[in-house]
Amino acid sequence: MIIIGFTFVTSCNKNEIGTKTIKFSNTDSLSFYQYGYQGYKDITNKNLVIVRVQLWRKKRDCLHGLGICSIKFFPKEKSSLDNNAKGRTIDVPIKMENGEKYIILYYAQDVSRFTSKELKLTVDTNLPLGNLNIIAGGYQFRKDLGDYGGYLIPLSKK
C-alpha cells in the first residue's frame, strides 16, 4: 500500500498520465507593441485613427486568456500615447488596404515556445466599433507579422 501511494505521488510530480506528459503554458503575460512600433509607420497622420484594444477574453472577465475583450476609439491627441509602452491595453492604428480596414497586433517578445493552438486569439462576442465590428471567433497567429509575429484582425461593416 505504501508503494502504491508513493508511485501515485511520483506520477503526479512528473505531470504524467499514462504515457502522456501534461504541458502547462500561460499566455497571459505576453506583451504586444503599441502605436509607434515600426510596423505601423506606413500610416500617414492625416489618415490616422487610433483604437484602444483591451486584451484578454471577455468570457474570462477580461482578466485571462489570449483574446480581445473590448475595442474603442481613442482620442486623436498623439501626445497622450506612450510609444514605448507594452501591455494588455494597447493603442493601435486602424490600417486600410484595398478598401478593407483592419488592425494588426504585433507581439513584442519571442513566442516561439508556444504552439499554434496556444497562440490562437479568441474574440468571444462581436465587438462594435462605430459602424464597424470585430467578428467573434478565433484568429490564427501569423509568423510573418513584425519581429515576433502577431494577428491581422479584419474590421467588418455592420
Domain locations in the chain? Answer: 24-157
Distance of alpha carbon 148 from the chain centroid: 12
pLDDT tens for each residue of 30-57: 888 877 788 777 766 666 788 888 888 8
CA-CA distance, 96 to 48, in Å (whole number)?
Answer: 10
pLDDT tens for each residue of 88-143: 688 889 988 888 999 999 999 999 999 999 999 999 999 999 999 999 999 999 99
Sign of the dihedral through C-alpha 133, 151, 147, 114? positive
Residue 18 has pLDDT above 70, yes or no: no
Nearest 10 degrees: Cα torsion 82, 64, 53, 137: 150
Confidence (pLDDT) at 46: 64
- Give pTM, 2 decimals: 0.73
